[in-house]
Chain A
């Protein structure tokens, strides 16, 4: 049997949480609408004569994500029309960005290696189709979602496993939530995952001559499962000498399988051209500087800082930095605990391993009391202390002589030596007392 390496790329769509839609003043709140087609106007319904006016906030959110991810920014950009006909697309074309996406380049690190980002661009969402369940019923269209700002991030096919795809998606989602540009709710579909999967023989470097796009994925674990299934399916085909077809497949949770949705043997021709209704977009240096200044400390930087300042292990830091508001609370707690000389890393370890019920809301005094008690309990026994002090006194005759000559600093040195020998500072008061007692006896 041959060994195959998966070649996986992701396309991630994210609805931005702006007040209004991408190209009109309608409220951007498809989930809050009390009835279908209540947040609509001539523009998002594609009425004759209506014109799009781009949403500044949506552009800024997209550029903000690009800057946070270290992407290059196209200072001169534009919107293009992508043509296809479907009832959920009222103008018969989608306004999107073709040649000049707002952001391009950079990479995002995962535990299995870096994943290069190809581009991030901005477009408009389609309306929602409600298909007839029974024969004779009509299908219906709800335009509340139509025209909502939709950001699309595309990676290079650098992902090697389903687990890495999941890690990438989660990491990206955390950053999006940190920036506050979207709710990124997968279940509601305001974050949508698409994976393209193909296989090549181990050691080969050229991209496979086909790819299978996976859609209808509304959670990270479904994505993981769908990719795993697809790797198995494609491996079986390749082993039989059959090249998998270029197609789009949907994930079916009930059966745990991917199912053919659409064959893509022929490339679509979307007849892209610059939207003449929207002048080119110029992003000023000032705006980019403003946006850069607005980027909060991102989770990766936070974890790094916690490691440096509090010796918190990376895996625990990652766990507690998932949510920005919660992370900020932990941050405040850590700083307060450190002032009280509570061992922060130990607290985090216990919290992460569910060995304590402490939260980031627990009063500092309570935590302090707990770890102070713990400190006494874990302190070395009086016998051990006496033994260590005696050894240190014997081994450091010069320092002892200094002490006897009235040099108070010598005590600090000797105390440090005892701590080192005991490999702890717990019970420091008792240790200091024993040291002074033995020194006076000399």
Chain B
């Protein structure tokens, strides 16, 4: 398939007119036709003729940015002008936004072709995509299992070649978790690296906008386009955007890779642990120098994360009153209601200091612990999620276990660091297992270089699910 190629390769083929954008878009729609019924990766698919029209215009145009003519999709958390946007919730089932998110504007301006809007846990609330009001997303590697969440639709769509890439959204692991479950790459950027304007908020101090694609080099190409300051997002950073794609080739010799021992806690599935250890050996063989480090507060990460995220989401969701747009609040699903109620309590006078206030202190503690590690480490390495993708419905009765899926990803979100999830191997049952490479704030370049070196030496990311062949 053409969409097996990297974005760089596709760009070369497009520029030399060996292929057309129309062919790529046709192929994306063919995949959707074949697999979306089983996967539910989309909430809204754009009219094929509209996408083809854009592709033809791209083929006829002489301007050729790195993403020109490349088909992509968006998690349905990004508002798109004149195209229904739901955030996975029936509250917004009728919502057609009057404007487009900054990330959408940047991608469209770069010439990328929008295919559709991906399924997601409603409001980003979930790690398995089973909290979507539009049905759960299924995993292409085993359709009885979940694709992860909350950006599950994005991960499923990319792994099924329904587009070359998708833009996910990561608050506590929502890009990294499904990327690892679906054997693709996903980058949670540094908080502030990519504009959040037009990203429907889950928890504003944690929400990040990032790419999901098949390879680290693809991620670098996309990040270059979407990163940068935005006058419409006061939390976006003014730091210059490096040319990530030209910084990928960096030898790993001397690279100091810290491995926090707290990742090897109770709850880490032995198979996941073994695959992760093997991956660290591979990095060592490439010249990296691994060292055991400690993040004593890591085990508190999930509790701190959920208190802050639920407090913020209870506030952010206050605007959905059905007065100006969308349906009335009775359309909120069970998980949304749960988080609104818990968050409301956490902010209430009398509880505020013990719950929200204490969580903020815990967050500061975590930030200090991470900061201290950057003295001795260039990157940190850990498993993305403690388990293999669960069977659909397995966790529906057990909210706490579902929350623990974020145990390794949420602490990184709390400190604001970037983290790249990439495929690291497969279980005996043939399910993908991923790992995350965590970097200093705004040092995406280094974690991308480590990930790229690993992908040059391995071919986990090139494995395709049986259903595709």
Query: Closest approach, in angstroms, between the C-beta of B339 and any C-beta of chain A?
Result: 15
Which A residues lie within 8 Å of B98 (CB)? 42, 47
CB pair A273–B356 under 8 Å, yes or no, is yes
B168-196 vs A, Cβ < 8 Å mask (1 yes, 0 no): 00000000000000000000000000001
Q: Which of A48-56, A173-181, A201-209 makes up part of the contact surface?
A: A48-56
Does B234 lie within 8 Å of A54, measured CB to CB? yes
Do the beta carbons of B101 and A277 come within 8 Å of each other? no
> A87 at interface (Cβ–Cβ under 8 A)?
yes
B interface footprint on A36-58 (CB within 8 Å = 1, 0 otherwise): 00000010011111111110000
The answer to the question of B327 belonging to the interface, with a C-beta cut-off of 8 Å to chain A, is: no
A83 sits at the interface (CB 8 A) = yes
Q: Select from chain B the residue with minimum beta-carbon distance to A143.
A: B324
Q: Which of B99, B200, B319 contacts A91 (CB 8 A)?
A: B319
| Cβ-based interface call for B50 (8 A) | no
* C-alpha gap A271/B233 in the complex (Å): 24
A50-B197, A277-B204, A278-B234 in contact; A85/B312 too (CB < 8 A)? no
Interface membership of A406, Cβ < 8 A: no
Q: Is the CB of A48 within 8 A of B97?
A: yes
Cα separation A93 to B323 with both chains bound (whole Å) = 15
State whether the Cβ of A269 lies closer than 8 Å to any Cβ in chain B: yes
| CB < 8 Å A-B pair total | 98
Instruction: List which A238-285 residues lie within 8 A (CB) of chain B.
Output: 267, 269, 271-273, 275-279
Closest beta carbon of chain B to A397's beta carbon, Å: 87
| A105 interface residue (CB < 8 Å to B) | no
**Among candidates A49, A85, A269, residue contacting B349 with C-beta atoms closer than 8 Å:** A269
Nearest-Cβ distance from residue B197 to partner chain A, whole angstroms:
5
Point out residues on B near A: beta carbons under 8 Å.
Answer: 78-79, 85, 87, 92, 95, 97-99, 101, 196-201, 203-205, 231-235, 311-312, 314-315, 318-321, 323-325, 344, 347-349, 352, 356
- 10 tightest CB-CB pairs across the interface, nearest first? A92-B318, A276-B205, A271-B347, A276-B204, A49-B198, A48-B200, A49-B79, A46-B319, A91-B319, A53-B234
Which residue of B has the minimal Cβ distance to A24?
B232
Q: Is A225 an interface residue (CB 8 A)?
A: no
Mask for A78-97, Cβ within 8 A of B = 1, else 0? 00010101010011110000
Instruction: List, sorted by A's number, 13 A–B pairs whose CB atoms are closer than 8 Å.
Output: A42-B98, A46-B319, A47-B79, A47-B324, A48-B85, A48-B200, A53-B231, A83-B318, A93-B318, A141-B323, A267-B349, A271-B348, A276-B312
Given contacts A51-B197, A271-B344, contact A87 B323 (CB under 8 A): yes
- By a CB distance below 8 angstroms, the chain B residues around A93 are 315, 318
Chain B: minimal CB distance from A53 (Å): 5
A residues 16-66 near B (Cβ < 8 Å) are 42, 45-54
Contact (Cβ within 8 A) B318 A91: yes
Report the Cα distance A92→B99, complex, angstroms. Answer: 21
When distances are taken between beta carbons in the complex, the residues of chain A under 8 Å from B197 are: 49-51
- CB contacts (< 8 Å) of A81 on chain B: these are 315
**Complex Cα–Cα for A271 and B350 (A):** 10
Assess A279 versus B234: contact at CB under 8 Å? Given A45-B324, A47-B325. yes
Q: Are B311 and A92 in contact (CB under 8 A)?
A: no
Cα A272 to Cα B351 with chains together (Å): 12
Which of B200, B232, B312, B321 contacts A92, CB < 8 Å?
B321
